[in-house]
Amino acid sequence: MATIHVDGKQYDVDGADNLLQACLNLGLDIPYFCWHPALGSVGACRQCAVKSFRDENDKMGRIVMSCMTPASNGTYISIDDEEAKAFRATIVEFLMTNHPHDCPVCEEGGHCHLQDMTVMTQHHSRSYRFTKRTHLNQDLGPFIGHEMNRCISCYRCVRYYKDYAGGTDLGVYGSAANVYFGRAEEGTLESEFSGNLTEVCPTGVFTDKTHSERYTRKWDMQYAPSICASCSVGCNVSPGERYGEIRRVENRYHGELNGYFLCDRGRFGYGYTNLKDRPRHPLIDGATVTSDVALGAARGMINGASKVIAIGSPRASVEANYALRTMVGAASFYDGHATQEGELVKLALQIVRDGPVPATTITAMEDADAVLVLGEDITATAPRMALAVRQAARGKGRALADEKKVSDWQAISLADLLQRDSYPVFVASVDSTRLDDIAHATVRAAPEDLARLGFAVANLLDASSPAVAGLDEATAAQAKAIADALAAAKKPLIISGTGAGSTAVMQAAANIAWALKAKNDATGLALTLPEANSYGLAMLEPQPLADALEALASGAADTLVVLENDLYRRAPKAVVDAALAKVKSLIVIDHTATDATARAQVVLPAATVFEGDGTVVNYEGRAQRHFQVYDPKYYDASLAQVESWRWLAVLEAASGWKILDDITGACATAVSGLAGIVDAAPGAAFRIDGLKIAREPHRYSGRTAMRANQAVSEIRQPVDPDTPLSFSMEGYNGVGGLDRPAALMPYAWAPGWNSPQSWNKFQQEIGGHLRGGDPGKLLFAGGATQAYFTDVPAAFTPSGSGSGFRVLPLHLHFGGDELSSRAEPIRERASTAFVAIARADVARAGVNGHATVSVDGELVQLPTFISDTLPAGTVGLPAGFAGVPFVAYGVDATVSGG
C-alpha cells in the first residue's frame, strides 16, 4: 500500500503499480495509447503525461509519464494541471498530423480508443496544414484488414503479436516518421491469435475483416453475454448482431479465463450461424412444415415406437441434454461423444472433480514457472491455454526484474532482462505442436510412450507411484529433466487432456500432478476436453454411444432422437449406417445441416449458441450461461429455430417447463453435481433499479426502419421471458456503484470509453477480476487425495513391415472443429485434408504425393505430408476434417501409394 496525492486528494493505492494503473484503478481518467493492462508500460506514446511534484510545497513540478512512474508512497501529482493537459492535447495533435481523420468510413469508428482519447484530451482543432505521409496496405489473410494510414505508431501490435503471442511474422519496419507495422511480405498472418490485433490496436489499422462484409457500428448492434463454443475453455465472448446476422465476435473480459484475448477460431468461426442452408424451419422428409406439424409427427413417432432412445451432445447446453434425458429416461440416454472419447471425458471428470488438484484457471496458468504439456497440442485443442503458457514461459522476466528491483510493468526492461531465457516448458506430444518454439524440450512419441514418460516423471517425483518397466535410457533422461524442473518450480503446471485419445496419458498426467501436489500446494493441472460442454454432458451420466448404435443395429430400439450431433463424426461410417438403416424413426434436433439431419425423418431446427440461452460447463467445471443475442422471429416470423431444450419442453409437455429457469432449476435439483448451474448467472427475475439489462447500446439507431420492408409500423420488440436481458436499447446500461453482475454484461461500454479498453471500468483492479465477480459458477467443490493410477501401458511397437500403421489424430487449430470449420474465413485459413507419414515410413508405405488410406473399411485418398516428427509406424490424420474418416483411438490403417 502507498498513499498518493492526486490533485490535492489523498488515495491509498498499490505501490507496486505505476501511476497510470493506480489512477485508472481509482476511476480517474488519464488518456493513454501504448500502455495496455496485459502488455505493460513502454513510454512510447507520451499520452499519459501528468505533473509530478517533489512534495506538497513544490509548485513548479515537472511533466512525467504516469505509465513509467511508480505509484510510490508520498507521490504528489496533478492530472488537471494546465501544462499537463496542454501537453496531452499536443500529443493527440501530433498523432493527428498523419492520422487521416477518416472516422466516417473507418470500421473502428464508434469503438475506437483513439476517438475516445481525443475527446478526453479535448483536442478539437488542428494547426497542422501540411501533407500527411501515406502507406500501402497489405492483404493479411481472411481475418484481418489492414489500413496503415491510420497508424499512430503505439507499437502495441508488435508487442502483442511478437512478445505476448509469440508470432514471428508481424514486425515494425523503417524508422523515424516512416515506421510501418505489418508482415515482411504480404500474406496471411500465421498466429492463431491474430484476431486480438483488432482489439489491441487503438485505432483502425487492424480491423475484423469478417465484419467488413456485413459492417455495422458498435452502437448499432445488439449483444448478449455469450460463451465461445469452439473448445472446452469457455472463453467469454460478446457477439454482435444486426438484421438477424451475427456480424462480429469480440472478447468479453473474464478475469480468470480469457482476460483480454481470444483465439482466431473462437473469434472468426461464428459464420456457421449465418449459413443460408442451416435448418431454420422444421422438416419432414426434407420438406418444410410448420412447427406444429413437425411436433405432431415427432410425438407420433415417439408414441408409436417400440423403444425410443436418445443421443445427447457435448456441443449442446446442459439444459438441452437434461431435457432429452428426462424425455427418454436416463437408461435410454446415450453419450454424444464417440465411445472412447466419452470414457476419456469421464476419466477427466474423475481426475479434476474428485482428485486433489482442481483445474487451474487460465489466469493462474500465466503464473506457472514450469509447465509440462503431455499429449496435447493445446494451440489446437484449448488455444487460450497455449497463450497462457506463453505468458508463463515469459514470466521469468518478472523474476529477473525483481532481482534487479525493476517493476513488473516495465515491459522494455523485462524483455531486455529476459532475452531468450524463459521458464521451462516441456511439450510431449504425438507430433510437432505450435508451442514447440517455447519448449525447452520436446518429445515425440506414440500415446503409449507419452504415458510411459509421464508415469516415469511421476515415479521420480514420488517413488510410491508406479514405476515404468523397461524404460529406455533416453526416455529416462527426459523424464529426469522434466521431473527436476517440475520439482524445482514454485508453481508447476501439468496440462494434458483427451486430445491424444489415451486414458493412460491422462492418468500419467494425474499421477504427476498428484505427486507434485503432495509436496507443493501450488501445483496446477488442466485437462482439455473435446467440446464446449463435454463435462455438462458427462455429468448427466449418459450410456456409451456404442451401446446406442448396437441397440439400434440389433433392433432393440427402433426410434432415435438425436440432439445437436452429427453421428458420422462419432463412429465409423459403416457402424452408423448399419444402425440408422434399422431405425424406424429418426428425429434430429440441430441448428446445422449434417449427414445426420440429411437422414432424419423429422428435423427440428435448433438455435445456435447465439440464438439461444443455456448453460455449459468448461474444463474447470465452471458452469457459464450463454444468452440469446437476438430473436430471429423479429425479422422473419416464419423462422422457427429455438433452443433444443424448448423443443424438448414442448414435446415433453408433462414437464411443465416454460422458461429457462424452470429447466435449469429442474436439472439442478435432479442432478446433484449440477446443483450449482442455477448460479451461473442471475435468473429471469433479476432486475437493476427495476430494469432489465439492455442488449443494445443506448445509441442504437434505425430500429423503426428495420422492418420497413415488411410493414411500416414498428412492431413491439421481442419479449425475453427467459433472462434478465431485454431486446432493446431500453433498460439498464449504466456503470458505477450498483453494477450489474459480470455474467450479464452484453458488451463493453462506459461513458467516454467506447473501445474494448472500457473493460478497465468494470474491474476490481486493472487487469484483475471483474467487479461483482468473474462470470460463472464452479461446480467442483474440491476433491480428495486419490490412489495413483497403476496401469502403465506397454511401449508402442510399430509394425515393421507391410502397410499397417497406427492412426493418430492430429489436432489443428483450424478446420477440425465441427462448427467453426463451416465458416468461410476459417475454411479459407484451414489446410486441406492430408495424411501425415513419418519420413522413415515413406518407402514402406510406397506413397508418392498421394496415399490411399483405409480405416475401418473406409477408403480415402489424401495428399501426403512427410513429417520429420511423427513417430515411425504411425500415420497422422487431421482430426475432424471433412473428407477424413472417423478414427477410433488405437486403430490401425493400411496406407498405400496413390
Partner 1 sequence: MSTPETVVKLAELTGKTQEAPFVLTDDERHEIEHEIAHYPDARAASIGALKIIQARRGWVPDGALEPVAKMLGIGAAELEGVATFYSLIYRKPVGRHVVKVCDSITCFMVGYEDIKKTLEQHLGITHGQTTADGRFTMLPICCIGACDKGPALMVDDDLHHDLTPDNVVGIVEAYK
Partner 2 sequence: MSLEQELLVRPLTARVNLEAPMDIAAYEASGGYLAVRNAIRDLQPADVQAKVKDSNLRGRGGAGFPTGIKWGLVPMGPDAGTKYLVCNADEMEPNTFKDRLLMEGVPHQLIEGMLVAGYAIQATTGYIFLRGEYVKSAERLNAALAEARAAGLLGKNILGSGWSFELSVHTGAGRYICGEETALINSLEGRRANPRAKPPFPQIAGAWGRPTVVNNVESLSNLPHIINNGAEWFKGLSQGKSKDGGTKLYGCSGRVKRGGIYELPIGTSAREIIEEHAGGMRDGYTLKCWLPGGASTDFLMPEHLDLPMDFDSISKAGSRMGTGLIMAVDQTANMVSLVRNLEEFFARESCGWCTPCRDGLPWSVKMLIALEEGRGRMEDIEQLTKLTKALGPGRTFCAHAPGAMEPLQSALKFFRAEFEAGVAPAGTADADANIGLTGVVVNAKVA
Is residue 45 involved in binding partner 2 (CB under 8 A)?
yes
CB 779 within 8 A of CB 674: yes
Is residue 173 involved in binding partner 2 (CB under 8 A)?
yes
How far is residue 140's CA from residue 387's CA, in Å, rounded to a whole number? 21
CA angle 236, 239, 242 (to 5 degrees): 165
Is residue 402 involved in binding partner 2 (CB under 8 A)?
no
Is residue 95 involved in binding partner 2 (CB under 8 A)?
yes
Q: Which three cell numbers stand for residue 276?
A: 443460408
Q: What is the per-residue DSSP string for 769-803?
A: PBTT--SSEE--------PPP--PPPPP----STT
Is residue 842 involved in binding partner 1 (CB under 8 A)?
no
Can you tell me which of 87, 686, 788, 865 binds partner 1, judged by CB under 8 A?
865
Q: Is 609 exposed, middle or buried (0-12, 13-18, 19+ CB in 10 A)?
A: buried
Beta carbons within 10 angstroms of residue 398's beta carbon? 20
Partners of 809 in the β-ladder: 877
Q: How far is the CB of 118 from partner 2 (least distance, A)?
A: 13
Can you tell me which of 1, 60, 105, 176 binds partner 2, judged by CB under 8 A?
176
Q: How far is the CB of 607 from partner 1 (least distance, A)?
A: 31
Can you tell me which of 11, 53, 87, 788 binds partner 2, judged by CB under 8 A?
87
Of 81 and 431, which CB lies nearer to partner 1 in the complex structure? Answer: 431
Task: Select from partner 1, partner 2, none the partner in contact with residue 404, using the beta carbon and a kind-dependent cut-off of 5 to 8 Å.
Answer: partner 2
Query: For the chain, what's the residue count?
Result: 898
Find all residues with CB under 8 Å of 468, minimum gap 6, and list them.
452, 455, 456, 459, 792
Of 128 and 173, which CB lies nearer to partner 1 in the complex structure? Answer: 173
Residues 147-186 that bind partner 1 (CB under 8 A): 162, 168-175, 180, 183-185
Partners of 586 in the β-ladder: 560
Task: Select from partner 1, partner 2, none the partner in contact with residue 418, using the beta carbon and a kind-dependent cut-off of 5 to 8 Å.
Answer: partner 2
Residue at grid coordinates 483465439? 263
**Per-residue interface string for the shown chain with partner 1, residues 393-432, x marking contact by CB under 8 A:** --------------------------xx----------xx
How far is residue 893's CA from residue 898's CA, in Å, rounded to a whole number? 15
Of 83 and 892, which CB lies nearer to partner 2 in the complex structure? Answer: 83
Is residue 98 involved in binding partner 2 (CB under 8 A)?
yes
Residue at grid coordinates 531465457? 421
CA angle 741, 744, 748 (to 5 degrees): 100
Q: Which three cell numbers stand for residue 642?
A: 429455438
Task: Select from partner 2, partner 1, none the partner in contact with residue 434, using the beta carbon and a kind-dependent cut-off of 5 to 8 Å.
Answer: partner 1
Is residue 127 involved in binding partner 2 (CB under 8 A)?
yes
How far is residue 179's CA from residue 694's CA, in Å, rounded to a whole number? 42
Which among 438, 437, 436, 452 is positioned nearest to 377, based on CA atoms?
A: 436
Q: Is 853 exposed, middle or buried (0-12, 13-18, 19+ CB in 10 A)?
A: buried
Three-state secondary structure call for residue 619? coil
φ and ψ at 72, to 5 degrees? -80, 160
Is residue 43 involved in binding partner 2 (CB under 8 A)?
yes
Is residue 94 involved in binding partner 2 (CB under 8 A)?
yes
Q: Which stretch binds partner 2 (CB under 8 A): 94-102, 510-518, 683-691, 858-866?
A: 94-102
Q: How far is the CB of 422 from partner 2 (least distance, A)?
A: 13
Is residue 64 involved in binding partner 2 (CB under 8 A)?
yes
DSSP alpha helices (H): ranges in 241-382?
A: 264-268, 291-303, 318-328, 339-349, 362-365, 378-381
Through-space distance between the first and last CA atoms of the chain, rounded to whole angstroms: 70
Residues 757-816 that bind partner 1 (CB under 8 A): 810-814
Is residue 47 involved in binding partner 2 (CB under 8 A)?
yes
**Per-residue interface string for the shown chain with partner 2, residues 407-446, x marking contact by CB under 8 A:** ---x-xx--xxxx---------------------------
How far is residue 88's CA from residue 91's CA, in Å, rounded to a whole number? 5
Of 12 and 186, which CB lies nearer to partner 1 in the complex structure? Answer: 186
Can you tell me which of 1, 60, 82, 130 binds partner 2, judged by CB under 8 A?
130
Is residue 494 involved in binding partner 2 (CB under 8 A)?
no
Q: Which stretch binds partner 2 (CB under 8 A): 89-97, 235-243, 467-475, 743-751?
A: 89-97
Can you tell me which of 57, 125, 131, 801 binds partner 2, judged by CB under 8 A?
131
Q: How many residues bind partner 1 (CB under 8 A)?
A: 39
Measuring CA to CA, how many Å separate 175 from each of 138, 155, 178, 180, 375?
19, 12, 5, 8, 44
Site residues, partner 2 (CB under 8 A) = 42-47, 49, 62-64, 68, 87, 90-91, 94-95, 97-98, 127-131, 133, 135-136, 152-153, 155, 172-180, 182, 400, 404-406, 410, 412-413, 416-419
Residues in contact with partner 1 by CB under 8 A are: 162, 168-175, 180, 183-185, 190, 377, 380, 419-420, 431-434, 810-814, 830-832, 834, 836, 849, 863-866, 876, 878
